[in-house]
Amino acid sequence: MLRKSKPKNVDPPELHIVKYLNYFDYALQMMTCDHHVPPDRYNERVEEHLRSTGFYHVSQIGVVQCQKAIVNALVERWHPDTHTFHLPVGECSVTLEDVAMIFGLLTDGLPVIGMTLSSFEALEAECLHQFGVTPRKSDCRGSGIKLTWLQDLKERLQLTDENSIQVYIKCYIMLLIV
């Protein structure tokens, strides 16, 4: 019979983060960050196009493994009202620069901005503009596209011309970042 483990009290200073990792049942556990649609490899024919977008390094990351104890400690210290981690040494937040350094993304140039799509008709028009096809209502949830629609579109594309390669790259990048 499985015993439920009693949650450890991590509030006393002697049990914060580093010492927290010394507990056998936490320190040895690995956590895999799952993706709704498993990351897949891109078609080798589009590698140069992917490099030119700046997302090549992100595509090479794959499955991320991390210490479950560290993640648990950080989750317990997250304060959603200030979007910071409250640690014994002070507050810490993750910045755009941190994300850019971790993923190797460029942050110079113009920002990516646009309208928030609040209707199916607006979503339809944007998909037609970006991908050359429109989703059915069953391929959408609210004002968003289901990932399976993007995955199917990417897999169906014949990379015969520059336009199809650009659509393929857009689908691939969208699947990377969602």
What is the C-alpha separation between 112 and 68, in angstroms, rounded?
Answer: 34
Residue 11 has a pLDDT of 47
Other beta carbons less than 10 A from residue 128's beta carbon: 12
In a domain, 136, yes or no: yes
- For residue 64, being part of any structural domain is answered with yes
CB count in 10 Å sphere of residue 19: 12
Q: Nearest-CA neighbor of 167 among 158, 76, 36, 64?
A: 158
Q: How many domains does the chain have?
A: 2
| Listed residues 48, 69, 103: the one ending a domain | 103
In terms of domains, do 145 and 99 share one? no
Please determine, for residue 20, whether its predicted confidence score (pLDDT) is greater than 50.
no
User: What 8-state DSSP symbol labels residue 169?
Assistant: H
- pLDDT value at 81 more than 70: yes
Average pLDDT, the chain: 76
Which of 5-9, 55-59, 60-64, 96-100 has the weakest average pLDDT?
5-9
Query: Residue 60: its pLDDT value, please?
Result: 75
Nearest CA to 47 among 176, 168, 178, 174?
Answer: 168
pLDDT tens per residue across span 139-169? 988 778 899 999 999 999 999 999 999 999 9
Domain that holds residue 139: 120-177
Task: For residue 107, give the DSSP letter.
Answer: -
Concatenated DSSP letters of 120-131: HHHHHHHHHHHH
In a domain, 49, yes or no: yes
- Supply angle C-alpha 13, 18, 24, rounded to 5: 110
How does pLDDT run across 85-122, given as a tens digit for each residue? 888 888 888 888 887 877 777 777 777 776 676 788 88
* Nearest by Cα to 16 from 93, 67, 84, 74: 74
Across 169-177, average pLDDT: 89
For residue 17 the two structure tokens come to 């983060």
